[in-house]
Structure 1
Amino acid sequence: MVSCYSDQKYTNIVHNKNMNTVIFDLDGTISDPAEGITRCINHALAELGHPTYPESDLLKYIGPHLNITFSELAGLKSKADLARAIELYRERYIPIGYKENRLYDGIVDILDELVDTGSLLCIATTKRQDIAASVLKYFGISHYFTQIHGCDLDRSKADLLRDVISDSILGKRPMVMIGDRDTDFLAATEVGMSSIAVQWGYGRSEEYELASDMVKSPVDLPEAIVRNAQQVNAPDIATRRR
């Protein structure tokens, strides 16, 4: 977990328990990474001697863990084979692919509004944490986020949400998860958190139905956050882990 609590922007609001903790997914929620992710998937497949795919066939893999991607596309099952595929994916993604990416229109204005009105923002992504931090730095938006939670193959998105809930500052506020895929909404449900589906990402309509609420545009997010943010108790999390 990367923390930015020391950032001067938050010194006057970090202890305000009356505002919300807003947890954002990254890919398909804050930015559109389709070009980079699909090219890197095909790079790995080609290096492994497997057929490559048109970009449109790979969009459904934006969001889930990479082990799911390569298990389905290349039939890989062993940890060693999956690790090799992911290594080849990152061989292109880390120097090049993460920049083949664009922020969604209007998202920076909303991040600015949320922070200015006292919300604390976090990232929870299935990307590796250092890679997620590089994406935010590339776009110049790292300063909006008090924490960045990323993971490799051994942790789920629900585990990341539990980390936020257990935080001594973030966990004291009403909170909500914002994302575009079923993995976001199912993780929120697992830990007793409400969620908001953004309809500009890569989820399907049946995935959006798993969320507590949904929005069509970034400008709709502030009101949806007010409607849905709620306190999640850490003792409940301990029970759900067992």
Structure 2
Amino acid sequence: MADTPPSTPIRRQFFGLDASLYEVDGATYIVPDKHADHPYGKRIRVGEYYEPKLHKFVTRHLKNRPGSMIHAGTYIGDMLPRFSQAATMLYAFEPDLENYLIAKSMVEINQLKNVYLLNAALAQKAEVLGLVVEADGKHLKGRVQVARDELALSDRERDTIDRQNYVASIVIDQLGITDLSLLQLDVEGFEVTVLRGAEDTIRACQPAIVVEDKSPACVQYLTDLNYRLTPTNLNGNALFLPNAAGRADDA
């Protein structure tokens, strides 16, 4: 729950999308009408944050261990105001152009000076990737995903794909981040591929790692990097810590 109730919404348009603006805890949140039924839209209207346990962990962790944070995928920027307050530098990535433009507006409205936001995917190598953005004629919102064989789309998903765009990918190790304290990935099953492109940074910085992917492949990959899965449940996200680190409560 936010510390203050949301304000009366203000109506605006962003890039042709009708939207409502809500003031919560001193920050402005954009909810496009087409995203109003997303859990973020439903929660922010009543002064609550989507994935509140994740918000609290990020704030606590970066207070205990100041440094930079990587946040991918950013969706429409609903977590940017709070994450940027906690991080010295917030590197944010959103592959879908429409989502990115709303997230960029969120950065501008809130004057977030320490956010490095890119319309790009993260991957093991720099390349051009196909991006599935629609299914059944509807925008996938926070479920936009890279169209790669390893994602093993279901037959139904393949049959209902209406539109595929293309996006450039970036490799975390090429960013040259030396103070990475937290790596948070919600990339629709693409986590292991992203992590492969971050191995040098992970070994050098030993960040806490939060991933939505709890598959055996992802768990094993991080185990091989000398990380352990903690029992902490961050709204369905898994927390991994370096084996040399303390308890999750101290992360």
For the criterion TM > 0.5, the same-fold answer is no
Shorter-chain TM-score range:
0.3 to 0.5
Structure number with higher relative contact order (C-alpha < 8 Å, ≥ 6 residues apart): 1
TM-score, normalization by structure 2: 0.32
TM-score, normalization by structure 1: 0.33
Greater share of residues in helix: 1
